[in-house]
Amino acid sequence: MTHVQIQPGYRFRLRRDIDRFPDFIVRKGATGTVTRARNGAVFALMDQHIHGAEEWDNHVWWDSGFLDDTLPLNS
């Protein structure tokens, strides 16, 4: 099994909807850039405006499962 190290600047596309109930849902296919990755937590700024994510400056977060939910984007 290959271990992938997620770093700030990593670009991705969502492979499924991400539900951050009760605040917002980010739809499959949305793209973003990792802004912080530490201790298994990942924070990413989304390219598309996410209605409801304004309080988090259009960021989405993961405590786990980031690699399961995303696909890498080619440059």
Is the pLDDT score of 1 beyond 50? no
List, as own/partner pairs, every contact residues 46-49 make where C-beta atoms lie below 8 angstroms and the sequence separation is at least 24, other chains included.
Answer: none
Q: State the average pLDDT over residues 69-73.
A: 96
Residue 58 within any structural domain of the chain? yes
* Number of domains into which the chain is organized: 1
Q: pLDDT tens digit string along 18-62?
A: 999 999 999 999 999 999 999 889 999 999 999 999 999 999 999
> pTM value?
0.89
- Region of residue 23 (left: phi > 0; alpha: psi -120 to 50; beta: else): alpha
Query: What's the domain range around 34?
Result: 11-72
Residue 2, in any domain of the structure: no
Does residue 6 form part of some domain?
no
Residue 47 lies in a domain: yes
pLDDT bracket for residue 70 (50, 70, 90)? very high
- Categorize the per-residue pLDDT at 5 as very low, low, confident or very high, splitting at 50, 70 and 90: confident
Residue 5 lies inside a defined structural domain of this protein:
no
Identify the CA nearest to 46 among candidates 27, 68, 23. Answer: 27
